[in-house]
Amino acid sequence: MAFVTDKEVLKPGLIIFRRADVDHRNWYCRVKLPKADRYKTVSLKTSDINAARELAFDQDSDVRFRLKHDVPVFNHPFRTVAQEYLATQEARAKRGEISKERPKKLKAVIEGALEDYVGSTQVHLIGDELWIGYPAWRRENGAGRNKRNGVREISAEKAAELDARDAAGRARAMEARGFRQFRPPAAAAPTESRAVAFISDATIRFEMSIFGAVMNYAIKKRYVAASQRFDDRPKLKTMRRDEFTLEEYRHLHTVGRSWVKAAPRPSSTWYRTVAYNFILIMCNTGMRPSEAKNLRWRDITSAADREGQELVVMFVQGKGKSRKLVAPKSVGDYFERIREATRKYRRDAAKAKKAKDDEGAKAPDVVFRPEDRVFTTVTGQPAKSLYQALIEDLLIKAKLREGASGVPRSTYCFRHTYATFRLAEGVDVYFLAEQMGTSVKMIEEHYGHVNTVKHADLVLQGMHSWEPDAAVGEVAAEDTKAERTPRAKARTAQPGGKLRRRNG
């Protein structure tokens, strides 16, 4: 090493030296790890050679103690370990073990909130205090999107910081998409304080899962002791997922049909037709948006159940997994509407382009290749946003943009709607979990409220002003109340019994 000067060997595997590439005259020591071709270099922070020798022997003893007691020898800042972990996840994504979008989400959290919180902290110094304190820190240093989580007042300086961060994020997003910026980012916030929404517990839970994954990776690499595994997270709220009620779903149907008819241009008609049928397909299959993006025409086939009824079978892929799901024949009709709308639009467009002056020109045939994506743009490219802006426009028109909890609805709400409707119809939770590609636990956690309504007869049994409704043909109208009571009690023990409110 050319920069090493005044080198002195204290014993085999232990030297002290000065550096020629720095301005100060402090000493450094280098310790060789026994039975390994690795070295640890430490700044002794003293220019006194006698003190340097003593400190070097102390470092040598410390290294041997760490090796003997299985304590990590080298120190690593959290950001370095996090980047190593991120590299392993990017490699997994290339191998197809996880989705390609997963590393992007990890990177956003690692280089965002976690970098601000513990980026420069040595990973071996991260303990329970930093782990447990993350939710409080995150709420005080971030701004959420939905006021449902509550709001807090922030200073002018904090407002300016958040605005600058948002502007920088928009600039990076525009640059990544190839857009040129003709105006500088928005100016900082005014000098007065303002309120911002709290970060949601769902966001904090997701970020802490990544925080914990990085620490587990550090344990695996022996950068930290096994005692720094953080499996227990602070208690956080689980937000109920929004869905459409049956009345809202019917209203969305009604508004959607008129919305399609009101399209001002042929391209708008095509987009609205596809978006409208996309909603119907999602609400009747329970697909994830990522699975819909990957869906191709070859993945859709027809079949029949044991009773001979027609159904649609779909092979879907997303989140690094694949499965088959079934849907009623009506879903096949929705797909056919998309085909027909695409045929008509492309045929008319090609005819208009090819033969403007020849009214008798024959329209070219539109061929759907098996490998073509189902949900595309008007030019045939994969629809990356899955008609997000169009769906938002329809929901606003139908006055259904926000759910009961005040949160703006997203494409994922159609999946929640499917799960809610299926559970309300009495579908077994195990079969529903298989159909939706999730776990029984996940369905029970997020859709437990459906069971309360489904089994209302059991929940409300014995309450004043409620009584079971007799089965059709089971009790004659002239039966007395005393005669009906035993039968009524028997029916309340059966799931799915109906209730009616007693007048008066």
Q: Mean of the pLDDT values across residues 118-137? A: 91
**Cα–Cα–Cα angle for 252, 255, 258, rounded to 5 degrees:** 145
Percent of the chain with pLDDT over 90: 48
Q: Do 155 and 193 touch, CB atoms closer than 8 A? A: yes
- Between CA 183 and CA 172 the distance in angstroms is 14
pLDDT tens for 92-117 read 999 888 888 899 999 999 999 999 99
Q: What 3-state class would DSSP assign to 70?
A: coil
Query: Quick count: other Cβ atoms within 10 Å of Cβ 54?
Result: 12
User: Is the predicted pLDDT of residue 136 greater than 60, yes or no?
Assistant: yes
CA atoms within 13 A of residue 260's CA, in its CB half-sphere: 18
| Residue with tokens 């096994």, as numbered in its chain | 226
> What integer best gives the mean pLDDT of the chain?
82
pLDDT tens for 470-491 read 333 333 333 434 444 444 433 3
Q: Do 266 and 330 touch, CB atoms closer than 8 A? A: no
Q: Mean of the pLDDT values across residues 373-399? A: 93
State pTM to two decimals.
0.62
**46-55, 166-175, 212-221, 313-322 — which is least confidently predicted?**
166-175
